[in-house]
Amino acid sequence: MPSPILLVNGPNLNMLGSREPEIYGQATLADIEADCVAHAQTLGLALECWQSNVEGEIVTRIQGAGKHYQGLLINAGAYTHTSIAIMDALLTLKIPVIEVHLSNPARREEFRHISYVAKAATGIVAGFGAQSYRLALEAMAALLRSR
């Protein structure tokens, strides 16, 4: 049975494909999710994708993740830089957490250099566009194999 993994996408990621394509690329969130689900299967993972623009919904989903999933991938969008609540929820988990970003926040505006998610993450994959998600899945598969 494949290892169940949850992918959480935060605010404005539902606008991918039309939102600042020079930064985030042409792929829609549906494109990225479909690619991730297929790639996860090749890695022996079962991926469930979920997106919300609402911080409290994201916190609630993270809080329940440890009961149902063996790993969590998260692109918290702008909440990466502002949400102590999301960080606190992630810190309750006993499963690996990988932070994912399409762009490289360290090369962007100063306020994007702070990541509350990183303080709770096992690792971070950023700056490779939609490929960041595939790389994060590969890292998660390796983490789970080494357990």
Element (H, E) at 101: strand 97-101
- pTM for the whole thing? 0.92
Catalytic position from the list 68, 69, 79, 101 = 101
CATH assignment of 3-145, among 3.30.565.10, 3.60.15.10, 3.40.50.9100, 1.10.3720.10: 3.40.50.9100
Domain ranges of the chain: 3-145
Q: Is 101 a residue of the active site?
A: yes
Question: What string of pLDDT tens digits covers the 147 residues of the chain?
Answer: 778 999 999 999 998 776 666 666 678 999 999 999 999 999 999 999 999 999 999 999 999 999 999 999 999 999 999 999 999 999 999 999 999 999 888 777 787 778 999 999 999 999 999 999 999 999 999 999 998
**Cα atoms in the Cβ-side hemisphere of radius 13 Å centred on 4:** 7
Q: Is 39 a residue of the active site?
A: no
Helix (H, G, I), strand (E, B) or coil at 88: helix
